Every structure is written in C-alpha cells, then in structure tokens.
Amino acid sequence: MRTMKRSVLSLSRATGRFTSGARVLPSFLITGGQRCGTTSLYRALAQHPLLLKPVLHKGVHYFDVAYGRGPAWYQAHFPLRVGAALLAHRYGSRALAFESSPYYLFHPLAGERIAADLPGVKLIVLVRDPVARARSAHAHELARGYETEACFEHALELEAPRLAGAEDLLRDEPFSLHHSHRHHAYLARGRYAEQLDRLEPLIGRERLLVLDSHRFFAEPEAVYDRVLDFLGVPNLGYPVFERYNGRSLPRGVSPVLERALRDHFEVYDARLARWLGGEPSWRR
C-alpha cells in the first residue's frame, strides 16, 4: 500500500512539473507560527470553493527547505489555471491558491524568497501563548522522534547551544538545513515580534494579517470573516470548524519556570499589540 501511494505521489509530481506553466501560483500563504492552529485554519479555508489548496499536501515547504528545487517544482503543486478560471466564472470572484508551511515565519531566508518570487502575496500569521506553544512544540517534536530530551526544562537549557550559529549557517549556505533550528527552537519561535519585524519591510504591513489563535478557536466565525475580508473573497457560507493536530500538554511546569518564561516573553508580547490591535489574549 505504501509503495502504491509513493508511486501515485511520484506520478502526480512528475505530471505537475510537466504542466507547471499552466498552473496558478499562490495568492496567500499561512506562514506560521508552529503549533499555533495553522492546520485548523488551513482546513477551514480549504472548504471555501474559491480557495485552492495544493494538489498533494498542505505544506510545500519550498521557501524554507526545498528552495533549491526551483520555481517549476513549486508551481507544480498548485491547481491548473483553467480550473481556477472556471471557478471564478461560476462564483463571480477570483479563485486564490494558497498553502501553509509554518517554518516560513521562522526561517531567516523565507521572507526574502517569498517577497522576490511572489510579489503581491499576502501572509497570514497565527500567534499563541508562547509558553503553551513552547510546551506543545516540545511534546510534538518528542512524539515525532526529533527531540531526544524528554524533560522540557532541560530542552530549554539546550536550546541556545543547539541553535548557536544556525542563522549564520542558513544564510551563508542558502540550501543547507539545520535540524535544531527547525525542531528545537522552543523559545525562539515564540518571540513572534522579532519574526514579524523581519517580514514587515519585505512584505508590507498591509499584506500581513496576524491572528490570535485563542480568538480563532473561541470565535471562529468572526476570525474567518476577517480572513476573507483580508483576502477579498466573498463569504459563501461557514465551513465546519475543527481543531486539528491538537496535543494534550504534559503536566504543568514549576511556578518558578512559569514565571521565568512569562518574564522572558513579556517584551515580545507587548510588541504584538500593534499587530493584533490590542493586548494578546494570554496577557489580559
């Protein structure tokens, strides 16, 4: 069964590359953050008939780990223009392709690549309580086998040495990969303001939508309306909203570590207010 599935995927990719010039490019990207509800938003948006997901899988990861494959490889992942045109004619509004790759927000070169290759693209970023995000990311990477340190506090202590020199390496060797940068950045990925400040001059404030994932799960219809308004797409009915890739957090951290983490993120959380239009939900 797995062999058959691999064969089908291989054939689909080959066909996609052959017809890449006849395919659309994405008009918007969900770029992160990791463990912040990106899959849930992706699945909700993919139910809209005018929002076209990749033909093979959710995250193409072109602008972070697969950039060396080239633009034809990337475009091969998206629907054909003729299909998009038929949908536009049927619904009286342009159909938009999109994908979701949460490492785009954190990778030091992804923003530059996106700005150069997709002029005019819009980006959607979800943010979450960074302490809960760090704990969720650690549990997620541990379950996937990418983390070997079972103790969350010890993993945090290892983060700085693990990530030392990672950004320089990724910039100096643009097609290189760094395992810890992708899988062990528990604190760094939660400093959302740093990543947004890097994106803003490249993409433009007006093409960046930052959402509090806590509000998305509490009031999905309101957030969904805001996303469609940002994209300029009509609401054709609400999708089924479900939470995907949820993972129960392990037992709570000690009060001392909790306070230290809250203090660590305080300055970064405060800088999110201008993106969210108010204080983050976890600081209220």
Cα 205 from Cα 210, distance rounded (Å): 10
Please enumerate in sequence order all residues whose Cβ is within 8 A of that of 26, keeping only pairs 6 or more positions apart, or say none.
Answer: 78, 96, 97, 98, 99, 118, 121
Select the more confidently predicted residue: 251 or 169: 169
Q: Which fold has domain 2-283?
A: Rossmann fold (3.40.50)
CA distances to 130, 156, 260 from 264, in Å: 10, 12, 6
Select the more confidently predicted residue: 91 or 251: 91
How does residue 171 score in pLDDT terms, banded at 50, 70 and 90?
A: very high
Is 90 exceeded by the pLDDT of residue 113?
Answer: yes
Structure confidence at residue 31 (pLDDT): 98
Q: For residue 94, which phi and psi values (nearest 5 degrees)? A: -65, 140
Structure confidence at residue 219 (pLDDT): 97
Q: % helix / strand / coil in the chain, to the nearest 5?
A: 55, 10, 35
Structure confidence at residue 141 (pLDDT): 97
Is 90 exceeded by the pLDDT of residue 19?
Answer: no
Three-class SS state of 141: helix
pLDDT tens digits for range 21-55: 899 999 999 999 999 999 999 999 999 999 999 99
Q: What percent of the chain has pLDDT over 70?
A: 92
How does residue 16 score in pLDDT terms, banded at 50, 70 and 90?
A: low
**The pTM is what?**
0.92
Mean pLDDT, range 94-106, rounded to an integer:
97
Structure confidence at residue 245 (pLDDT): 74
Is 50 exceeded by the pLDDT of residue 276?
Answer: yes
How does residue 8 score in pLDDT terms, banded at 50, 70 and 90?
A: very low
Are 235 and 228 spatial neighbours (Cβ–Cβ below 8 Å)? yes
Listed by start position, the domains of the chain span: 2-283
Distance in Å from the first CA to the final CA of the chain:
50
Structure confidence at residue 252 (pLDDT): 78
